[in-house]
Structure 1
């Protein structure tokens, strides 16, 4: 149970002042996630790398994040040390790993190692930032979750945005800028955001609890909904530039700014996260998540025809896809937390996140492989099975809840 540890001074930090700082810091530090992706075409051209190398390089960050998340959980690093210190250390080390792209790396192996390390240190940024934010929210993250995941989305879009604005600048400037921004975000957390009065009680990681966790039918449904969502999310983000590049080539849009368009599509996910957080009060997490997952899944299927659409329709559909592919993420996280056994919430989150990000590495690698063998118009059909699995699993959870609610109403009416 979360208990206040200290009283909050009227002149000190408050939830209203701390959460915006955490959101901005998360945005700044998670820019490391796709910093390598934004300059990958330049690196491939410079080092004469084959197109198939993209999938391996892109999935290296995801693999690093999975390993980092597990190790951070096993050794309870954010419990043993001050959370803001862990956040700053990882922001700096992640920035250095990212900077290696422009200073040390000269082949695929060294590039993959640098991206793996970046992903590893992101495990001490994104989840730890969530924990810091939770320590300032008496009732849990709740509505703030949409803003925090939205910050991750905007952080993902930021390298593309920088590249789009500085298309004439050396590609290394994107990498350097993201590293500097990450360090600034870490410093902001360290100096301005202490652990809050509602610090969650330590929840030791217990791998032996895995059978107990997944024994719950509702947790399995929520988890598989999340897994289906993750199959689509990062793979789409990784290959968004390919969508715009192919459309520009097909329609003769000379000088089209692919990086800037990619940043806007990915960044639209922040709108989906925040809007979903507003709608959840009325419709519930399950219904909001399933609606967004259904929409993004349909757009996976319609991607075959999107490339033939006129520009106005094309960009509108891509904006909708960007909103919905990420907008369901906070709601699936909320469903996992709500349906996990109370004694193992921390372990459940860690395991579900690790499985989810492992899935993203597979789907990214698959799209990288298929991108050299399948016409681009048909490439994103490979993402459709994810939303299908997610809808089937999480839909069963919603149906059970509806039945339970109907039965409860019937019992109230009975004499």
Structure 2
């Protein structure tokens, strides 16, 4: 299907498009962290231990991996209008989330519903990036900087809620998140027209998916992203433990929110810099700085309070600031008719890497001091920089 009678190169995105995509992305991905925001209340209400909490958290990640694999193999985001895929998945994800709050009182059922919520998030997060790519072939790094920044705020929000000690019943809080996701899906479908810069695929895009290992440029950005994912989510999981070496009580939650939320500056600022320096250079610099922060951990954990705070802030900014630029590079170099499918499959593999890293480092952090564990996170950035070299040499 051809984009429009207007030439794609001449069609400019309406002013509302980017803000609506960003807000819809934030609203839809809020489903990801709904249980995290109410976890203490849920533990008390259902007498759950720490292992049960891990199951609920992992269920969403596992569902997302399964969903992205299915969506990529079926080329869902490329064969059907991406904004309607986003709407359908927002509605289904909101239903699973609300059902988990009111429709079940069994732990096993809640785990399955969280898995299904993660499955439908596969039609929200990468599909939102596909929608942005269809409108912003130029300046995509800046646009995705705002989108990933919205996800970062959603990740940080549960820590803020814990610090503020909200009095909402946990079911009401999850219900509010479901309503927010529905509103985001409706806004995407009603206010964002189909973008003119990516063609609609007529069939499965398995050849496009093979570009991840067949095309040097796509391979470089994809494997650079995998190195970044080795570090990112594990760092976010360990932030409370790092902060707890200096603070206690609500201060841990408030500081954890700050360390994670400040990553939005890296996403948005990196997008602005990418307009001038290019996405590959911006991603490489941020990946190198966050890797250096890993290596400095043994010294910084015992450093004066001001230096400790600066170290965590720099790490929080750069650990996620490269993410939108990796996605930009993948979208720019992937076959035009398969951009959505390639982005989805790269997300699938990246989150699989993150689960392996989280499991490994959580076990290590329980047995060894943080100063001995955190430097090994630098393995991911180092390998990511090595894989990114072809794009850097091309400028």
- TM-score bin (small chain): 0.7 to 0.9
CA contact (8 A) 2:287 2:319 kept: yes
2:363, 2:52 → 1: CA distance?
9
2:235, 2:37 → 1: CA distance?
14
> Residues 31-50 of structure 1 correspond to what in structure 2 (within 5 A)?
31-44=30-43, 47-50=46-49
* Segments of 4+ moved more than 6 angstroms: none
Asked if 1:307 corresponds to 2:301, the answer is: yes
CA contact (8 A) 1:53 1:368 kept: no
1:341-377: CA deviations, max 9, x gaps? 5565444333322211111121122233334333344
| Residue 287 (structure 1) aligns with | 281
CA contact (8 A) 2:208 2:335 kept: no
Deviates more, 1:113-122 or 1:335-344: 335-344
> Residues 162-311 of structure 1 correspond to what in structure 2 (within 5 A)?
162-198=161-197, 200-202=199-201, 204-207=203-206, 213-249=212-248, 255-311=249-305
Instruction: Please state how far the C-alpha of 1:293 moved relative to its aligned partner.
Output: 0.8
CA contact (8 A) 2:231 2:319 kept: yes
Deviates more, 1:189-198 or 1:179-188: 189-198
TM-score, normalised on structure 1? 0.82
1:129, 1:326 → 2: CA distance?
18
| Residue 394 (structure 2) aligns with | 401
1:91, 1:192 → 2: CA distance?
15
CA contact (8 A) 1:2 1:198 kept: no
| Residue 370 (structure 1) aligns with | 364
CA separation of 1:311/1:54 partners in 2, compared to 1, >3 Å: closer, same or farther? farther
1:34, 1:211 → 2: CA distance?
32
CA contact (8 A) 1:134 1:140 kept: no
CA separation of 1:94/1:331 partners in 2, compared to 1, >3 Å: closer, same or farther? same
Number of corresponding residues: 392
Q: What is the SS of the residue equivalent to 2:140? A: coil
CA separation of 1:5/1:110 partners in 2, compared to 1, >3 Å: closer, same or farther? farther
Instruction: Please state how far the C-alpha of 1:141 moved relative to its aligned partner.
Output: 3.1
CA contact (8 A) 1:26 1:152 kept: yes
CA contact (8 A) 1:4 1:199 kept: no
1:292, 1:260 → 2: CA distance?
25
1:95-149: CA deviations, max 9, x gaps? 2322344335656533432221111111111222223333433647343121122
1:256, 1:325 → 2: CA distance?
24
| Unaligned runs of at least 5 residues, structure 1 | 250-254, 403-415
Asked if 1:148 corresponds to 2:147, the answer is: yes
Residue 327 (structure 1) aligned to one of 321, 329, 340: 321
Asked if 1:15 corresponds to 2:14, the answer is: yes
CA separation of 1:122/1:111 partners in 2, compared to 1, >3 Å: closer, same or farther? same
CA contact (8 A) 1:90 1:122 kept: yes
TM-score, normalised on structure 2? 0.86
CA separation of 1:224/1:312 partners in 2, compared to 1, >3 Å: closer, same or farther? same
CA root-mean-square deviation: 3.1
1:208-236: CA deviations, max 9, x gaps? 56555413334333222110001111222
Residue 379 (structure 2) aligned to one of 362, 374, 385: 385
2:58, 2:185 → 1: CA distance?
25
CA separation of 1:172/1:381 partners in 2, compared to 1, >3 Å: closer, same or farther? farther
| Residue 86 (structure 1) aligns with | 85
Asked if 1:103 corresponds to 2:102, the answer is: yes
CA separation of 1:130/1:352 partners in 2, compared to 1, >3 Å: closer, same or farther? closer
1:180-214: CA deviations, max 9, x gaps? 32222222223322324445432744335655541
Instruction: Please state how far the C-alpha of 1:272 moved relative to its aligned partner.
Output: 0.5
2:372, 2:115 → 1: CA distance?
29
1:209, 1:118 → 2: CA distance?
27
CA separation of 1:197/1:337 partners in 2, compared to 1, >3 Å: closer, same or farther? closer
CA separation of 1:147/1:361 partners in 2, compared to 1, >3 Å: closer, same or farther? same
CA contact (8 A) 1:276 1:328 kept: yes
CA separation of 1:5/1:74 partners in 2, compared to 1, >3 Å: closer, same or farther? farther
